[in-house]
């Protein structure tokens, strides 16, 4: 790549192995949230572009689905190597379009790349099963096939990892793809597309359409009858809409949706460990994560001490342009996000919460918000019932274990729950009763390519990563063979 990695990114649509303009010829601007400056103009795709892309994916499916697993594995492995080689450039692009500090962006590059390596290893281990019917008269041979052309849609908050987490298993399984990255952060995804081409992914396997009007692109894909699978990461309302559209053609669906993670600290917890865990669970990605600790329930006897220690740590964080040396907290992704966070804080304060630190935004350009700790938050405050998606930690004291479990489960979401205790029996007792797909026990980080990531309730369907991650892109078929 050239000296400025952003200007080296291809900004067209990528269909059938070719970069090109959108059918309308329109483009849209990508903004740096730290400076509010335009970084690049990207092709603004529409329904005509979408139809062209899904036709290509449909035509290419049979041939691609029959490629040797080792071939697909090695494409992924080469893509992994290239991503790691270009980690600095990819991180710089991500920081510029999304805001996260460079060190975090590099962490995401490594995390995202690991999905490519993991699924390169899974591609050659798809396997099957052979058994006899109970009466011994028939052999049952079970195989797994690619599910078919897949619609991939990603959010803006982890621009590289969310794409890699879908493209990795789809390539491993032998599915062709139509991919729509988020309009706020398309550049990282577009850079990743070039890496796949260089790694040897054949033309037509991965087709990418960027747009400012997601419905106009995704609806034709869902209605096409060609796509057999939708894999979506984003908000619950959009996920619900896509499930309704998927029903029309009974498409296999994976949904990684919103979260409202409870973070429970019992009075027997190691408080230093709990504070360190809260810093990660709250501040990773400036709080703009589906896994972010959204409600901190702390046992009354230690609540004030925990709030004091947490605000001390939060208050020390350096807020600034993610590209600048030493920055620990970058801007939020857009002005709308900043306004929403301020409204949540104002509402909590008007209901009696104590501001331990932050509670406001620094002056000047960019969508920055100061790291904030609120203590004694009223349980009816709006920020406890919604994803905050910002650097704000609301603390609610509780008295009994039963009360903590009840509070934790009082939400439509169920992505992740965190709990801190030194009592192993309690950790499992509480963990088993928290309605979530993932539990962090004495840790604030659950994301790992080796683990099955996903939620229950309105946080989603299916899992990404881990041993079962590839199943989302496979269909099961069995052959019955009489035995003489």
Task: Give the footprint of ligand NAD on this chain (CB under 6 A).
Answer: 153-158, 180, 182-183, 214-215, 218, 233-235, 238, 241, 256-259, 290, 387, 415, 455, 460
CA dihedral 369, 372, 378, 384 (to 10 degrees): 60
Cβ–Cβ under 8 Å, residues 258 and 288: no
Q: Is the Cβ of residue 57 or residue 182 nearer to ligand NAD in the bound state?
A: 182
Query: What does the block give as tokens for 376?
Result: 């004694």
Q: Which of residues 306 and 453 has its CB atom nearest to ligand NAD in the complex? A: 453
- 298 strand-pairing partners: 265, 397
Question: Please, which residue, 44 or 353, has the CB nearer to ligand NAD?
Answer: 44
Separation between Cα atoms, residue 438 and residue 418, nearest integer Å: 9
Tokens of 377: 């938050």
| Three-class SS state of 152 | strand
> The tokens of 394 are what?
């609301």
Nearest to 105 by CA among 122, 117, 89, 118: 89
Residue 214: other Cβ atoms inside 10 A: 17
* CB nearer to ligand NAD: pick between 290 and 408: 290
| Cα separation, 19 vs 193, whole angstroms | 10
The pair of three-digit structure tokens given for residue 275, joined into one six-digit string? 């504070």
Smallest separation (angstroms) from ligand NAD to the CB of 387: 5
Query: In angstroms, rounded to a whole number, what is the distance separating the alpha carbons of residues 96 and 100?
Result: 8
Quick one: tokens of 395?
């603390």
Q: How far apart are CB 265 and ligand NAD at their closest, in Å?
A: 23
For the bound state, the minimum distance from the C-beta of residue 308 to ligand NAD, rounded and expressed in Å, comes to: 29
- Angle 447-448-453 from CA coordinates, rounded to 5°: 60
Rounded CA-CA distance 59/204 in Å is 8
- The catalytic position among 108, 256, 288, 387 is 256
Query: Would residue 334 show up in a list of annotated catalytic residues for this protein?
Result: no
Nearer to ligand NAD, 46 or 154 (CB): 154
The residue among 311 and 459 lying less far from ligand NAD, judged by its C-beta, is 459
Beta bridge partners of 218: none
For ligand NAD, the closer of residues 54 and 274 by Cβ is 54
Structure-block tokens of residue 166:
């879908």
Nearest approach, Cβ of residue 184 and ligand NAD (Å): 7
Report d(CA 413, CA 416) in Å as an integer: 9
Question: Would you state the structure tokens that stand for residue 167, as one six-digit string?
Answer: 């493209």
- How many Cβ atoms sit within 10 Å of the Cβ of residue 10? 17
CB 286, min distance to ligand NAD, A:
13
CB of 442 to ligand NAD, least distance (A): 22
For residue 354, what are the contacts with CB-CB under 8 A and spacing of at least 6?
374, 375, 376
Q: Among residues 467 and 477, whose Cβ is nearest to ligand NAD?
A: 467
Q: What end-to-end distance do the CA atoms of the chain give, in Å? A: 63
Residue 288 CB: number of other CB atoms within 10 A? Answer: 24
List active site positions.
256
């Amino acid at each position: 790549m050239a000296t400025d990695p952003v200007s080296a990114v291809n900004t067209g649509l990528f269909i059938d192995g070719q970069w090109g303009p959108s059918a309308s010829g329109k483009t849209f601007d990508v903004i740096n949230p730290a400076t509010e400056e335009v970084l690049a103009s990207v092709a603004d795709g529409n329904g005509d572009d979408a139809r062209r892309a899904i036709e290509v994916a449909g035509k290419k499916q049979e041939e691609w689905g029959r490629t040797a697993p080792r071939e697909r594995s090695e494409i992924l492995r080469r893509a992994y190597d290239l991503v790691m080689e270009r980690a600095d450039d990819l991180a710089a692009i991500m920081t510029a379009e999304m805001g996260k500090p460079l060190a975090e962006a590099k962490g995401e590059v490594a995390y995202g790349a690991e999905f490519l390596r993991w699924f390169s290893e899974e591609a050659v281990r798809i396997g099957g099963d052979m058994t006899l019917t109970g009466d011994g008269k028939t052999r049952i041979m079970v195989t797994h096939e690619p599910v078919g052309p897949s619609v991939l849609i990603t959010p803006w908050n982890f621009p590289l990892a969310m794409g890699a987490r879908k493209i990795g298993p789809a390539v491993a399984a032998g599915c062709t793809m139509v991919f729509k990255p988020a309009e706020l952060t398309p550049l990282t995804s577009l850079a990743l597309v070039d890496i796949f081409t260089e790694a040897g992914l054949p033309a037509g396997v991965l087709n990418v359409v960027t747009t400012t009007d997601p419905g106009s692109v995704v609806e034709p894909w869902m209605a096409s009858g060609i796509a057999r699978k939708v894999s979506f990461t984003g908000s619950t309302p959009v996920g619900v809409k896509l499930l309704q559209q998927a029903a029309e053609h009974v498409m296999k669906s994976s949904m990684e949706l919103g979260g409202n993670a409870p973070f429970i600290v019992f009075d027997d917890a190691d408080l230093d460990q709990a504070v360190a865990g809260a810093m990660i669970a709250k501040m990773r990605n400036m709080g703009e994560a589906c896994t972010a600790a959204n409600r901190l329930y702390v046992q009354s006897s230690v609540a004030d001490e925990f709030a004091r220690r947490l605000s001390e740590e939060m208050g020390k964080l350096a807020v600034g342009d993610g590209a600048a040396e030493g920055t620990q907290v970058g801007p939020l992704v857009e002005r709308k996000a900043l306004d929403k966070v301020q409204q949540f804080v104002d509402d909590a304060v008007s209901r009696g919460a104590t501001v331990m630190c932050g509670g406001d935004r620094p002056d000047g350009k960019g969508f920055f918000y100061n790291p904030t700790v609120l203590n004694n938050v009223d349980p009816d405050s709006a920020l406890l019932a919604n994803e905050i998606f910002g650097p704000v930690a609301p603390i609610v004291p509780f008295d009994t274990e039963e009360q903590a479990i009840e509070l934790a489960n009082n939400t439509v979401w169920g992505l992740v729950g965190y709990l801190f205790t030194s009592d192993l029996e309690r950790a499992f007792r509480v963990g088993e009763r928290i309605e979530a797909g993932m539990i962090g026990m004495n840790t604030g980080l659950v994301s790992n390519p080796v683990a099955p990531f996903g939620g229950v309730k309105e946080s989603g369907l299916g899992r990404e990563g881990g041993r079962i991650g590839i199943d989302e892109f496979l269909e099961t078929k069995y052959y019955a063979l009489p035995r003489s």
